[in-house]
Structure 1
Amino acid sequence: MGPPSMAAAALLAGRRVCALIGAGLSVSSGIPDFRSPGGMYDTLRPELLTASELERRAMRADPTAVVSWEIFSRNQLPYLELRRPFMLGVLDKEEKGKDTYKPTLGHFFFRVCHDKGLLKRLYTQNIDGLDYKTGIPNDKIISVHGSLGRVECEGCKTPYPSEKFCSEVREKIKDIYNIDEHAPKESRPIECLSCGKPLVKPATVLYGRNLPPEFWERKDEDMQDLDVLIVAGTSLAVQPAASLVTLTNKRSARIVVNKEEVERNFPV
Structure 2
Amino acid sequence: MTANRPLIAVLTGAGISTDSGIPDFRGPNGVWTRDPAKEKLFTFDNYMSDRAVRVESWRARMENPAWTARPNAAHLALVELERAGVPIRIITQNIDGLHQKAGSTPRKVIELHGTMFTVRCMGCGARGTMAETLDRVRAGEDDPACMECGGILKSGTIMFGELLDRDTIDAAAQVAMACHHFWAVGTSLRVEPAASLCEVAVRSGASLTIVNAEPTPYDHLADDVVREPIGEALPRLASALKASLLG
Q: How does the TM-score come out when normalised to structure 1?
A: 0.72
Q: Distance in 2 between matches of 1:24 and 1:230?
A: 13
Structure 2 unaligned blocks of 5 or more: 223-247
- Check 1:251–1:29 CA distance in 2 against 1; reply closer, same or farther (3 A cut): same
- Check 1:164–1:251 CA distance in 2 against 1; reply closer, same or farther (3 A cut): closer
Residue 152 (structure 2) pairs with residue 214 (structure 1): no
Residues 40-81 of structure 1: CA deviation (Å, up to 9, x unaligned)? 1123374xxxxxxxxxxxxxxxx5333222111112442552
Deviation at 1:170, TM superposition (A): 2.5
What is the aligned partner in structure 2 of residue 35 from structure 1? Answer: 26
Any conservation in 2 of the 1:16–1:118 contact (CA below 8 Å)? yes
Q: Distance in 2 between matches of 1:130 and 1:74?
A: 31
- Check 1:234–1:36 CA distance in 2 against 1; reply closer, same or farther (3 A cut): same
Residue 14 (structure 2) pairs with residue 16 (structure 1): no
Residue 194 (structure 2) pairs with residue 241 (structure 1): yes
- Check 1:28–1:200 CA distance in 2 against 1; reply closer, same or farther (3 A cut): same
Q: How many residues align?
A: 218
Any conservation in 2 of the 1:172–1:190 contact (CA below 8 Å)? no
- Check 1:35–1:155 CA distance in 2 against 1; reply closer, same or farther (3 A cut): farther
- Residue of structure 2 aligned with 1:232, choices 185, 190, 195: 185
What is the aligned partner in structure 2 of residue 150 from structure 1? Answer: 118
Any conservation in 2 of the 1:127–1:148 contact (CA below 8 Å)? yes
What is the aligned partner in structure 2 of residue 111 from structure 1? Answer: 79
Q: Which amino acid aligns with 2:26?
A: R
Residue 98 (structure 2) pairs with residue 133 (structure 1): no
- SS of the equivalent of 2:32 reads coil
- SS of the equivalent of 2:34 reads coil
Q: Distance in 1 between matches of 2:123 and 2:81?
A: 38
What is the aligned partner in structure 1 of residue 56 from structure 2? Answer: 81
Q: Distance in 2 between matches of 1:266 and 1:192?
A: 47
What is the aligned partner in structure 2 of residue 181 from structure 1? Answer: none
Q: How does the TM-score come out when normalised to structure 2?
A: 0.77
Deviation at 1:257, TM superposition (A): 1.2
Q: Distance in 1 between matches of 2:21 and 2:55?
A: 19
Any conservation in 2 of the 1:111–1:134 contact (CA below 8 Å)? yes
- SS of the equivalent of 1:131 reads helix
- Check 1:213–1:134 CA distance in 2 against 1; reply closer, same or farther (3 A cut): farther
Any conservation in 1 of the 2:21–2:65 contact (CA below 8 Å)? no
Identity %: 28
Root-mean-square deviation (CA, aligned residues, Å) is 2.6
- SS of the equivalent of 2:195 reads helix
Q: Distance in 2 between matches of 1:152 and 1:121?
A: 27
Residues 90-143 of structure 1: CA deviation (Å, up to 9, x unaligned)? 68xxxxxxx611111111111112212324321101111211212222221111
- Check 1:83–1:107 CA distance in 2 against 1; reply closer, same or farther (3 A cut): farther
What is the aligned partner in structure 2 of residue 256 from structure 1? Answer: 210
